[in-house]
Amino acid sequence: MMYAAKLHEAETERTNYTNELTDYEARLDTLQKVYDTDDLASYLSRNMDELAQLSIALDNAKTSLEIDQKSLAQVHRGPGVTAQTNPEC
């Protein structure tokens, strides 16, 4: 009788683990469909590469904006203002 109870308990645990595994597999399948890939590591890698490229583009745009703002400020100051007469140039 004791072995039957242990066997029943083990089978119940096995069923629970099997159900949990099935649930995880279904969730993984859903993620694979959402992201259109079966290798989420490669998806992450592609997105990290794209993020790096966008970060570089943003830095370049900020630098260009800064240069343009300085040029515009110099135009508004007039031709007589130079770096020697105004250290902010």
Give the 3-state secondary structure of residue 79. coil
Whether residue 2 is found in the same domain as residue 30: yes
Whether residue 42 is found in the same domain as residue 82: yes
Q: pLDDT band for 83, please (50, 70, 90 cuts).
A: low
Whether residue 63 is found in the same domain as residue 79: yes
Total structural domains within the chain: 2
Q: Per residue in 25-79, pLDDT tens?
A: 999 889 888 888 778 778 788 889 999 999 999 999 999 999 999 988 888 887 6
Whether residue 43 is found in the same domain as residue 20: no
Between 37 and 88, residue with greater pLDDT: 37
Instruction: Calculate the CA 26 to chain-centre distance.
Output: 24
Whether residue 42 is found in the same domain as residue 6: no
d(C-alpha 10, C-alpha 8), whole Å: 5
- Domain ranges, residue 73: 38-89
Write out the two tokens for 22.
């099935």
pTM score, whole prediction: 0.46
Q: Per residue in 1-32, pLDDT tens?
A: 688 888 888 999 999 999 999 999 999 889 88
